[in-house]
Structure 1
């Protein structure tokens, strides 16, 4: 197979690298594309899109390949693979960074921290920049500097017809708005330009851990602590067994525990004041909060979610942490059978909440917390273990129903979260606006292997690809 004008590498089932090239972060995803087009630049991406349209091939787009639903790979179609496009160029004077579409957050953190700068990224450094950004982008810096999309200044996009456009406040502003949370629905983003902000390079960061039996008391304290926290303090609550990380005392490995992980984006002395009450609450099993490089903190949990394990997620936004919601969380968080399964809860608010809900396509600006229930098991533990872990995640989500606010972070949706949950992520007003932008840039729904926005879809009853468009699409 050849693609006219393509300078990158084409990989098919006959190549020695095929199995590695079709693998994604979630090891439970096992799909066999007809062709993997590993692109060397934007021109290759455009050529691959045109080739796919001409040959009626379904398109999957791979950036970091980290999305739990596995939409970065398809069966029988073409994977437009940006994983070789990882350039990161920092402009320290202008406090901006240009990032290619295959870069990982570790790439961005390392390059920007050389200048004492950063932008909001994910909490795992091997997460892809493109996927996290296009869904909104939550992380430790969001309460101080907003979501990742709030720092997105411009993007270069290959559209469904194989053309290349620049989306910014001045060029295609409707497309820029849609890219700020609307997912990969509108084209292949080959580069992003972000604003950077002063961070570190040394920050006060790390977890405080308590025994699982103390979870309800810790969460009740945390509810009030988080409500009064300064914007510079980002916190994430993790509930499950303690992973065997080098920084964790060995006697705590695999012990059920609740952890509040902190990262203060300001001066270390200000951070010490901000977390003092948290560190003194109750009887912590361990206090690992300390000054450390921001880059090291961002990498600190990478080994808890490695490539190749099997993952299944359920998630929702929460209005707050009522006593009843806390009881539900404490009752369900430790019922998983796998010691690798866990739940993680993000404290929102701060700069995230100060923008109007329709400023970007990420619309859930007014929620207090976001919770993600992560069922995890090893590849050799399929069958009964997989069924038990997915059932635990579903039970946990169902028990949280009375405490949901009717929204969900689109990046946390798994493969079995259908159209109604995609609409839930945006709300009807934003979803309708996204559907109109989809008509302008991808009327045939060529880019539909994602959390799909149907072109012009205004009725919740609309299902499947857009009317008149089969599962595969041709110009």
Structure 2
């Protein structure tokens, strides 16, 4: 649990003037809804902001940025509130809450969607799927679109459609000095480059324009479960199956503990298992054939691969990742899933500290790898896999052990290896540096100096200007 400081008082007159000019609402300590307003998805962070500004539109965002700048207060920008390091809230500062801003407009002629930055993935999916369209989204539909997109965006369509940020066509941004800009390939291209992978370092993104992909309403998707005793065999078989997988298929392995799901035999409940999830986003008639190599790697405990509505598949894992747990995520990219890496994963699986802790081995490549590395600030595109290590506990008890276990897994895989900015666990400078090649990082610093030279936007995976 994160310690907090006493809440700083903002002058009464200043606060009254600010609140009176807001279309949205301002929540302060002592208000009935304060505890609800300050809470975030990751309960490992318990912080007490001086106020939460629930913004109804761009004008509210501009006013809130101005208040933080003029009062010299920390500013936390919240979209979906899923920030693992807790950047969605702060002590003794201002939370700029975008969650009321959830409008989506689909332009069928242009095959684009404009989504306000408070949208969750379920909001965007609901609108785009009315027309059989989609963009790579989060594995959990309660995740906000903004932070997910600006940090990368790895989901079930990553091999078919690329990273989420690869489909970003433009964004509206409020900068630290109060400007309201549109960033795209034609307008402020340096900012547009930096936004795609540089996270929230350069301003408050208020809306995002996405190029959409036609995937239809149904995808061949699901999960297959194997016993933990066959983990080595399954991992090696998974690696072989990935070598022949088409780009339309995205899969991952989850080394986990079986929840009491009705389709799993009771003897497996609460026991360690190896689950393989996959999504074939192409011709539905070929889905069973395309996923077959992943569904015959050992003794099958359950196989629930089938045609599913895309929206339903996007929400299928939601119950397993509820709000209110203590969460810590770490990641490392692997150029290949070599024998040494698999042995490290197997050893870590044997030492898993609790039933909510997991290790994901996620195949990359496909459309993601075809984007030139220097075209966006997300430059790690030549690695075949990413390992995401999830340390979770129901509450604070045992959480420190889960964190140390997660750190140990990624360190054993490669202490100097590249990491995924959305899954860095904490905002330490070394973890941020590990997310970017040196040339990319230098270019990001340059953009930071241009758009946020005083580092107002520092509650993120921070790229500091040369102050």
Pick the aligned partner of 1:408 from 407, 415, 419: 419
2:298 aligned residue: 282
Gap runs ≥5 in structure 2 = 1-14
1:165 aligned residue: 181
Bigger mean CA offset, 179-188 vs 246-255: 246-255
SS at match of 2:243: helix
Pick the aligned partner of 1:442 from 438, 447, 452: 452
Bigger mean CA offset, 81-90 vs 318-327: 318-327
Q: Distance in 2 between matches of 1:254 and 1:88?
A: 40
Alpha-carbon RMSD across the aligned residues, in angstroms, is 1.3
SS at match of 1:181: helix
Pick the aligned partner of 1:193 from 191, 209, 218: 209
TM-score scaled by length of structure 2: 0.94
Gap runs ≥5 in structure 1 = 457-466, 468-475
Describe how 1:137-152 pairs up with structure 2 within 5 A: 137-152=153-168
CA contact (8 A) 1:122 1:138 kept: yes
CA contact (8 A) 1:125 1:299 kept: yes
1:262 aligned residue: 278
Deviations 1:309-341 (A, max 9, x none): 001122111121112211111111242232111
Q: Distance in 1 between matches of 2:204 and 2:354?
A: 37
1:472 aligned residue: none
1:251, distance to aligned residue in structure 2 (A): 4.0
Bigger mean CA offset, 1-10 vs 248-257: 248-257
1:227 aligned residue: 243
1:345 and 2:372 aligned: no
Q: Distance in 2 between matches of 1:395 and 1:439?
A: 35
1:396 and 2:409 aligned: yes
CA contact (8 A) 2:379 2:440 kept: yes
Q: Distance in 2 between matches of 1:122 and 1:247?
A: 24
1:209 and 2:209 aligned: no
1:247, distance to aligned residue in structure 2 (A): 4.8
SS at match of 2:337: coil
Q: Distance in 2 between matches of 1:414 and 1:432?
A: 22
Q: Distance in 1 between matches of 2:237 and 2:360?
A: 17
Q: Distance in 2 between matches of 1:181 and 1:74?
A: 23
TM-score scaled by length of structure 1: 0.93
Deviations 1:224-253 (A, max 9, x none): 111210000010111110123455444432
1:76 and 2:76 aligned: no
CA contact (8 A) 2:264 2:301 kept: no
Q: Measured at CA, do residues 422 and 249 of structure 1 come closer, stay the same or move farther in structure 2, by a change above 3 Å?
A: same
Describe how 1:355-434 pairs up with structure 2 within 5 A: 355-379=371-395, 382-383=396-397, 385-401=398-414, 406-415=417-426, 417-434=427-444
1:426, distance to aligned residue in structure 2 (A): 0.9
Q: Distance in 1 between matches of 2:222 and 2:233?
A: 20
CA contact (8 A) 1:136 1:149 kept: yes
